[in-house]
Structure 1
Amino acid sequence: MTTARLEVRPPRESDRARFVELFRDEDFMVFSPRILTESEAEARFDHMLAVCGTIPFGKQPVVELSSGLIVGYTGVDRIDLAGETWLEWGYRLVPEVRGLGYATEAGRALLSRARRTYPGALLAIIAPDNLSSQRVCRKLGFAFWKQAPVEGDLRNLYTLCAEDPVS
């Protein structure tokens, strides 16, 4: 999928080195518990490939058209929360492009694919102090559901029915 400034596409094996680099970078992983080791980053990329093999809107590279660089990802992964399996929407961008509207632009593009293939609810899990991501979620049509512990940390949970129109 191509937008005015971005391409959002399934991951390729040729993306591996870039994602391993990103998953090991503190600035990229700022709202994660920690950066990954090289073997964990490799495994995470393998998981990204596998999810996209079964879910057409799994986490996918966000490529900046003007530079040709992968500047992050957007999409879903599966998560078990309170005894239920969800498709969890997320995104992550390199610091250099944060605040440019890329998360919203890429999210809208991939959510259009989700709407064509998935009728269920999506979940977004956001750190309470990550106000930028909460704004992006609201722009994408997610609604605040509740605060709850996720893997030991208090998080804001947002939901979206994939069939709902984008705001």
Structure 2
Amino acid sequence: MTKSDRAVVRTARLLVRPPRGADRDRFVGLFRDEAFMVHAGVLTEQEAGDRFDHMVAFCRTVPFGKQPVVELSSGLVVGYTGVDHIAFEGRTWLEWGYRLVPECRGLGYATEAGQALLATAHQTYTGELLAIIAPENRASQNVCHKLGFTFWKQAPVAGDARNLYTRSVGAEWLLTHT
């Protein structure tokens, strides 16, 4: 088994795996799609390519970085889940996020993929994660709760009011929740 094989997480319906070069066109298209990028805004082709390149590089160092969610029944990349760095209030956080194509929302995929990748986080990291959600995005707030995040506060992020959620992961969390 190779290092990249160990990084693949499989659930009943999904595969969550590090991004590959072959995913570039799919993600550049998704990052430029208004329906996919709801609550964030579409990117230019250059920005989308840069974001994909960052995703690949980040996953090389953080095994639960943002990575593709692949629907097993279709074999299609239907979104992503995982963390990236974000600077907020003078601190660098690991920010948990996910995004799915519209036709895969409301099917439980975000929770399923998130729970699977959080298992990797528990094995490789001890600390706190941050989730940032638009106040009107009730569906994502529900996913956050299902993933064990708790509401922290509402604060401006990049000029917009956002609901902030936190959750601990790692050895200490496992001791108190198993």
Within 5 Å, give how 1:1-167 maps onto structure 2.
1-32=9-40, 34-163=41-170, 164=173
The alignment of Structure 1 onto Structure 2 pairs a total of residues equal to 166
Q: Deviations over 1:18-60 (max 9, x none)?
A: 000000000000010x200100000000000111011000000
Q: Which residue of 1 aligns with 2:5?
A: none
Instruction: Give the helix-richer structure, 1 or 2.
Output: 2
The CA distance in 1 between the partners of 2:166 and 2:65, in whole Å, is 17
Per the normalisation by structure 1, the TM-score is 0.97
TM superposition outliers: structure 1 runs of 4+ over 2 Å: 163-167
- Once the two structures are TM-superposed, the CA of residue 153 in structure 1 deviates from its matched residue by 0.4
Amino acid at match of 1:36: L
State the percentage of identical aligned residues: 70
Q: Which runs of 5+ in 1 are unaligned?
A: none
Q: Which runs of 5+ in 2 are unaligned?
A: 1-8
Per the normalisation by structure 2, the TM-score is 0.91
The CA distance in 2 between the partners of 1:162 and 1:26, in whole Å, is 32
